[in-house]
Amino acid sequence: MMIMNIWFVFIIMFYVGNLIFISKNKHLLIILLSLEFIVLSIFFFLVVYLMMINYDMYMLMVFLVFSVCEGSLGLSILVSMIRTHGNDYFQSFNLL
C-alpha cells in the first residue's frame, strides 16, 4: 500500500509539472521552473525504482549531471533574453 502511494505521488508531480508547462505562460522563468520540477520528479522516481531493484546508483549521477547542464543552459538563455529584450516575456521574443 505504501509503495502505491509513493508511485501516485510521482505521477501527480509529473502531471502537475506538465500542466504548468503546457498552460499559457507569459514568462520564460515559469517554464524553466516547471521543467526543473519535471526533472526532479523523474529523479525521485529513479531513486525509488533503483532502490527497489537493488541496482547501482551510478546512473543517477549521470542523470544529475545532464539535468544540471539543462538548468544552466536554460538560465543562460534567460539572462541573455533579459539583457537583449529587457524582460522574459515570450511575446517580445522573436525566434525568426
Residue 71 belongs to domain with CATH number: 1.10.287.3510
Residue 72 within a domain: yes
pLDDT in tens, 8-63: 888 899 999 999 989 977 888 898 999 999 999 999 999 988 888 888 888 899 99
Cβ 26 vs Cβ 89: under 8 Å: yes
96 is a domain residue: no
d(CA 7, CA 25): 28
Q: Does a structural domain hold residue 23?
A: yes
pLDDT in tens, 52-84: 888 888 889 999 999 999 999 999 988 988 888
The conformation of residue 56, written as its DSSP 8-state character, comes to -
